[in-house]
């Protein structure tokens, strides 16, 4: 195992809060996989009790206006949020890493074009850009794939959230491209692609991992807002849809749907924040002696 990763694991294991956060994240991932596999929470639209039943042993988070179990719907919403965070990150990170590496390595006119492009994109408020792109893509079909519902959310978040990692990778590549190990590879005739992806990228890969862990947070929050506004998930439980439905229930004293959705989101966002910070501290060479 790479000494950097071995040392990082040791440092994280000493951080009790980070370990707890890791297990919370792992539980969410397992729930999302079980829901996706059809093993749990498949009866999310089934009436299982009287409307607005209070929380009880039978219905942990009560029922909604249609008698549907709120806890089951919260569980199903976990799959939606985790899938959005994962797929949107898989779209955004390769774009940011490739553009950042190309800009930092080649510099000059190429760097100017890429910096201008991401600076222009960053000047537009992120949430407004995601909402606009979701609205434009909604109902469209590209390469035989319908962009209704979550598909448009994946693309909207993925194609608008790569700027941060692009800036980081660009700065790191600029630092590394003239170091001895890269100059040695260049002297032995290594191609530009080999210098970037074989020699430089392994030395900045920890930054990509950290960005991936923290990117989940903004992706989950964006999905909740988009679904709340009716541009995301359709006919399936989402934390954003549940929060939207719950705003009309509060006047009746029905608080459990709002509580279930917001607490589920709060817990995973908090866990990702704690673990992401611990991962950053463990992998940052500047903090090794702290």
Extents of the domains making up the chain = 3-40+61-287
Identify the CATH class of 3-40+61-287.
mainly alpha
Is residue 285 over pLDDT 70? no
Q: What pLDDT is attached to residue 169? A: 94
Count the neighbouring beta carbons within 10 Å of the beta carbon of residue 129. Answer: 18
**Rounded to two decimals, what is the model's pTM?**
0.85
| Calpha distance 135→21 (Å, rounded) | 35
Is residue 15 over pLDDT 70? yes
Per-residue pLDDT of 171-229, as tens digits, reads: 999 999 988 899 998 898 889 889 998 889 888 888 888 888 878 888 888 888 888 87
CB 279 within 8 A of CB 209: yes
- Using only C-alpha atoms, the chain has a radius of gyration, in whole angstroms, of 22
Length of the chain: 290
| Calpha distance 1→56 (Å, rounded) | 49
* For residues 2-23, average pLDDT: 84
Of the pLDDT bands very low, low, confident and very high (cuts 50, 70, 90), residue 2 is low
Q: What pLDDT is attached to residue 47? A: 77
Between 14 and 214, whose confidence is greater?
A: 14
* Assigned token pair, 111: 């760097």
* For residues 233-251, average pLDDT: 84
CB 64 within 8 A of CB 257: yes
Q: What pLDDT is attached to residue 290? A: 47
Q: Where are the alpha helices (DSSP H) in the chain?
A: 3-13, 16-36, 70-106, 108-122, 126-137, 150-158, 163-176, 180-187, 192-194, 201-228, 239-246, 256-283
Count the neighbouring beta carbons within 10 Å of the beta carbon of residue 262. Answer: 16
């Amino acid at each position: 195992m790479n000494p950097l990763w071995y040392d990082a694991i040791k440092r994280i294991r000493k951080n009790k809060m980070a370990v707890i956060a890791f297990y919370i994240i792992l539980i969410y991932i397992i729930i999302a996989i079980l829901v996706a596999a059809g093993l749990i929470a498949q009866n999310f639209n089934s009436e299982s009790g009287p409307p607005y039943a209070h929380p009880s042993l039978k219905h942990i988070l009560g029922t909604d206006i249609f008698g549907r179990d709120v806890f089951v719907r919260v569980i199903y919403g976990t799959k939606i949020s985790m899938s959005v965070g994962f797929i949107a990150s898989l779209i955004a990170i390769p774009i940011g890493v490739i553009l950042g590496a190309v800009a930092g390595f080649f510099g000059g006119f190429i760097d100017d074009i890429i910096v201008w492009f991401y600076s222009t994109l960053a000047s537009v408020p992120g949430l407004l850009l995601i909402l606009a792109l979701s609205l434009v893509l909604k109902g469209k079909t590209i390469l035989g794939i319908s962009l209704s519902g979550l598909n448009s959310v994946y693309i909207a978040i993925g194609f608008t959230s790569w700027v941060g990692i692009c800036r980081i990778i660009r700065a790191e590549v600029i630092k590394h491209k003239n170091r001895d190990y890269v100059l040695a590879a260049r002297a032995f005739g290594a191609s530009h692609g080999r210098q970037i992806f074989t020699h430089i990228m392994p030395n900045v890969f920890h930054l990509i991992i950290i960005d991936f862990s923290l990117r989940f947070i903004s992706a989950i929050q964006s999905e909740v807002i988009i679904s709340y506004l009716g541009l995301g998930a359709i006919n399936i439980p989402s934390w954003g849809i549940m929060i939207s439905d719950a705003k009309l229930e509060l006047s009746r004293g029905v608080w459990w749907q709002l509580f279930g959705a917001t607490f589920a989101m709060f817990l995973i966002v908090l866990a990702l924040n704690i673990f992401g910070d611990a991962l950053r501290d463990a992998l940052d060479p500047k903090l090794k002696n702290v």
